[in-house]
């Protein structure tokens, strides 16, 4: 057994940390306050190769292992949840389905543009009436000659409604299966396709510098070549995509917890009350000790899940555990971090307030904590 | 062009350094080591020269202990093609001249049109190794470049001087040291890091270069190190209005600090 990261994994951690501290940290507060998605920052993240992490070189990807990718997301989230979200969704939800399920033509058309970070791609799954109950999907696609006609809407779709969005993968009902359940198929719909509109959603509590879109499909006609994989593969594709997506959301919990913990520790050692640094008071020190311990546990669980995936072993149960645990660890850590900061913790300038807000999504997006518990309970035989 | 870049591994500039138990060196335990920032300018410049020319090679050469291989790999991750590390325990006791001898020997058998190095290292701030290597190789040398342009068989360098700029032309091959402002070094890309794994990194000891420990031994020794005096606490200036604050500040600067 070996807990050491490889040399390359360690270099990736160092380099992404250096990048995040130099390029993201100085603007994170302002972008959050203005609720502004930064094209410039996204392109910079593309330049250092944060998109196309698991994609092979022939399509312009970085050919990283999953542990390396997760470390990169973790290091971004340690500084800013919004930018980590752009990268995590860009890879796990935008690029991954095209890479894993797309045909050669689709991969050649879209991946090189997405892997440079010049363009982004959304993954349209959630609908106004279909959240955890993906079976409630109402978006439909009907065949018409060589074309399909898509009607419906999607909501809360990351990277889907900004000037960098090249298109979206949209899951639609395309008929009934033999067992009477709906048949799902995913379509690749390019930005600018007639009848397709994407509207940026604003007034979010968290991830305010990440782009979130609401998508409308009004008799959108796409050629049958735009089907991702095969007709009827949509449900399976969604499940597999979400397994990978869970790891990147978990990595955001892990990195966010690390960032908030470091802020709290630094503050506690500097802030003096009753004649000594507050880190010397057990009430504060024990909170920090708990944070350090839980982050360590979360990291081990997360890396193990990634290691399973890299090793080609079943990782789905562990991915659900890692997503659930990391996001809940971050919840406890940001709570402690704000508490340790006292009144200053409530002020934007001190940074922990942003971590506190950004955390909440992690217990909701990519399968709520409740859904993760259902997934885990099924795996353990309940 | 075939370009050689000389680099040194130094403690992270953000790291808090402390004096080791011997009282004459830096405690190495727990220190984070990085590529000397001035050497990063040199690596970046070499990459840019070849990218603009659409060809050429960049070879990174360092001399030091085994851990310095990490610095060479960092340069490979930025985009350099191959690395050479003179790795010998005797080098940990070497001074600038000893290191320069090892580097000069290491590059003497290579083909190169240009050697780039940092103008100085942020640990000892000596600024000697670059010029010494040029001297040992008997090639021209220009220090503290803020721009480097290749023009045919020569290199045109704008070099920082006290209060001005010197424009120096030198025939190739030449050695140029990089000053802050020469460029903005890139971050290593994820793919660059993954590719660095497969790039050649050759390690040699001194004997492989025909040198002995005595050849590189320091001519002088550090007798003792002491930390800088602790910074005195700041003083808050009080006053009810901006005018009063300014007046009190001016008074404090004139009467107490005696700087105006």
Per residue in A287-325, pLDDT (tens digit) is 999 999 999 999 999 999 999 999 999 999 999 999 999
Q: Looking at residue B205, what DSSP letter applies?
A: -
The alpha carbon of residue B197 is apart from the nearest alpha carbon of chain A, in Å, by 7
Domain topology for A236-379: Butyryl-CoA Dehydrogenase, subunit A; domain 3 (1.20.140)
In this predicted structure, what is the pLDDT of residue A357? 98
B190 and A19: CB-CB below 8 Å? no
| Alpha helices per DSSP H over A20-65 | 25-34, 39-47
B9 vs B40: CA distance, rounded Å: 11
Contacts of A64 in chain B (CB under 8 A): 190, 194
- Residue in A7, A19, A49 nearest the CB of B191: A49
The alpha carbon of residue A266 is apart from the nearest alpha carbon of chain B, in Å, by 15
Put simply, whether B191 touches A (Cβ < 8 Å) is: yes
Binning pLDDT at 50, 70 and 90, where does residue A372 land? very high
A45 vs B201: CA distance, rounded Å: 28
Per residue in A39-72, pLDDT (tens digit) is 999 999 999 999 999 999 999 999 999 999 999 9
ipTM: 0.87
In this predicted structure, what is the pLDDT of residue A217? 98
Number of A/B CB contacts below 8 angstroms equals: 47
> Hey, where are the domains in chain B?
2-209, 230-260
A298 vs A318: CA distance, rounded Å: 11
Pick the CATH number of B2-209 from 3.30.460.80, 3.40.50.620, 1.10.3720.10, 3.40.50.170: 3.40.50.620
Put simply, whether A49 touches B (Cβ < 8 Å) is: yes
B259 vs A94: CA distance, rounded Å: 60
Q: Which residue has the tokens 């940290």?
A: A25
Neighbours of B29 (CB within 10 A): 6
A11 and B191: CB-CB below 8 Å? no
Per residue in A168-190, pLDDT (tens digit) is 999 999 999 988 899 999 999 99
Put simply, whether A19 touches B (Cβ < 8 Å) is: yes
Task: Let me know: does B6 contact B117? Beta carbons within 8 Å.
Answer: yes
Q: Please, which residues have CB within 8 angstroms of residue B13's CB and are 6 or more apart in sequence?
A: B34, B37, B122
B190 and A50: CB-CB below 8 Å? yes
Q: Chain A 50-69, CB below 8 Å of chain B: which residues?
A: 50, 53, 57, 61-64, 68
Domain topology for A121-231: Butyryl-CoA Dehydrogenase, subunit A; domain 2 (2.40.110)
In this predicted structure, what is the pLDDT of residue A2? 87
Question: End-to-end alpha-carbon separation of chain B, Å?
Answer: 54
State mean pLDDT over A253-261.
Answer: 98
A47 and B196: CB-CB below 8 Å? no
The alpha carbon of residue B150 is apart from the nearest alpha carbon of chain A, in Å, by 27
A47 and B189: CB-CB below 8 Å? yes
Domain topology for A7-120: Butyryl-Coa Dehydrogenase, subunit A; domain 1 (1.10.540)
Contacts of A63 in chain B (CB under 8 A): 191, 194
Mutate to test the interface with A, among B190, B192, B197 (most CBs of A within 10 A): B190
User: Could you tell me the pTM of the whole model?
Assistant: 0.91
Same fold? A7-120, A121-231: no
Walk along chain B (260 residues) in steps of 10 and give the mean pLDDT of each run. 97 86 86 94 98 96 94 97 96 91 96 96 93 97 96 94 92 96 96 94 95 92 88 86 93 86
In this predicted structure, what is the pLDDT of residue B124? 87
Per residue in A77-119, pLDDT (tens digit) is 999 999 999 999 999 999 999 999 999 999 999 999 999 999 9
**Helix or strand holding residue A334 (H, E):** helix A316-341
> Hey, where are the domains in chain A?
7-120, 121-231, 236-379
Put simply, whether B172 touches A (Cβ < 8 Å) is: no
């Amino acid at each position: 057994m070996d807990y050491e990261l490889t040399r390359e994994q360690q270099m990736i951690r160092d380099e992404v940390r250096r990048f995040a501290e130099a390029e993201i940290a100085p603007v994170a507060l302002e972008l959050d306050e203005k609720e502004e998605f930064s094209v410039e920052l996204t392109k910079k993240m593309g330049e250092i190769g944060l998109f196309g992490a698991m994609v092979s070189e022939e399509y312009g990807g970085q050919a990283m292992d999953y542990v390396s990718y997760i470390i990169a997301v973790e290091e971004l989230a340690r500084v800013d949840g919004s930018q980590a979200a752009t990268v995590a969704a860009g890879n796990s939800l935008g690029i991954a389905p095209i890479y894993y399920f797309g045909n050669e033509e689709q991969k050649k058309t879209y991946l090189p543009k997405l892997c440079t970070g010049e363009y982004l791609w959304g993954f349209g799954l959630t609908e106004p009436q279909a959240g955890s109950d993906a079976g409630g999907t109402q978006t439909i696609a009907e065949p018409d000659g060589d074309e399909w006609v898509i009607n419906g809407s999607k909501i809360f779709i990351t990277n889907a409604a900004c000037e960098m969005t090249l298109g979206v993968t949209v899951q639609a009902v395309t008929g009934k299966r033999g067992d009477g359940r709906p048949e799902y198929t995913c379509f690749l719909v390019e930005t600018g396709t007639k009848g397709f509109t994407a509207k940026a959603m604003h007034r979010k509590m968290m991830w305010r510098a990440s782009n979130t879109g609401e998508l409308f499909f009004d008799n959108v006609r796409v050629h049958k070549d735009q089907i991702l994989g095969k007709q009827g593969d949509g449900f399976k594709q969604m499940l597999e995509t979400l397994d990978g997506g869970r790891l990147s959301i978990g990595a955001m919990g892990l990195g966010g917890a690390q960032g908030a913990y470091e802020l709290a520790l630094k503050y506690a050692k500097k802030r003096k009350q009753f004649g000594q640094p507050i880190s010397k008071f057990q009430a504060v020190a024990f909170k920090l000790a708990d944070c350090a311990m839980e982050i360590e546990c979360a990291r081990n669980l997360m890396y193990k899940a990634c290691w399973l995936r890299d090793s080609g072993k079943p990782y789905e149960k562990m991915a659900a555990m890692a997503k659930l645990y990391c996001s809940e660890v971050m919840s406890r850590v940001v709570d402690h971090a704000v508490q340790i900061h006292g009144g200053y913790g409530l002020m934007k300038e001190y940074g922990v307030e942003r971590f506190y807000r950004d955390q909440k999504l992690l217990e909701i997006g990519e399968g709520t904590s409740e859904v993760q518990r259902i997934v885990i309970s099924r795996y353990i035989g309940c | 062009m075939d370009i050689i870049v000389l680099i040194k591994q130094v403690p992270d500039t953000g790291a808090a350094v402390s004096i080791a138990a011997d009282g004459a060196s830096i405690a190495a335990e727990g220190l984070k080591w990085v590529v000397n920032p001035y050497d990063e300018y040199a690596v970046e410049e070499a990459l840019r020269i070849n990218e603009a020319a659409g060809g050429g090679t960049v070879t990174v050469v360092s001399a030091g202990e085994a851990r310095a291989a990490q610095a060479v790999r960092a340069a490979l991750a930025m985009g350099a093609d191959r690395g050479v590390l003179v790795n010998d325990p005797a080098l940990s006791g070497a001074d600038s001249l000893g290191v320069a001898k090892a580097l000069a020997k290491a590059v003497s058998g290579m083909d190169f049109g240009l050697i780039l190095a940092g103008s100085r290292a942020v640990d000892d701030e000596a600024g000697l190794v670059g010029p010494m290597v040029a001297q040992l190789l008997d090639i021209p040398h220009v220090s503290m470049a803020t721009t480097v342009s290749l023009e045919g068989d020569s290199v045109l360098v704008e070099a920082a001087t006290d209060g001005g700029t010197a424009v120096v032309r030198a025939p190739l091959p030449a050695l140029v040291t990089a000053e802050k402002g020469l460029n903005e070094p890139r971050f290593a890309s994820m793919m660059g890091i993954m590719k660095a794994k497969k790039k050649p990194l050759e390690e040699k000891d001194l004997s492989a270069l025909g040198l002995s420990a005595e050849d590189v031994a320091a001519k002088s020794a550090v007798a003792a190190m002491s930390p800088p005096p602790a910074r005195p606490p700041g003083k808050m200036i009080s006053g009810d209005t901006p005018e009063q604050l300014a007046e009190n500040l001016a008074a404090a600067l004139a009467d107490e600090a005696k700087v105006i």
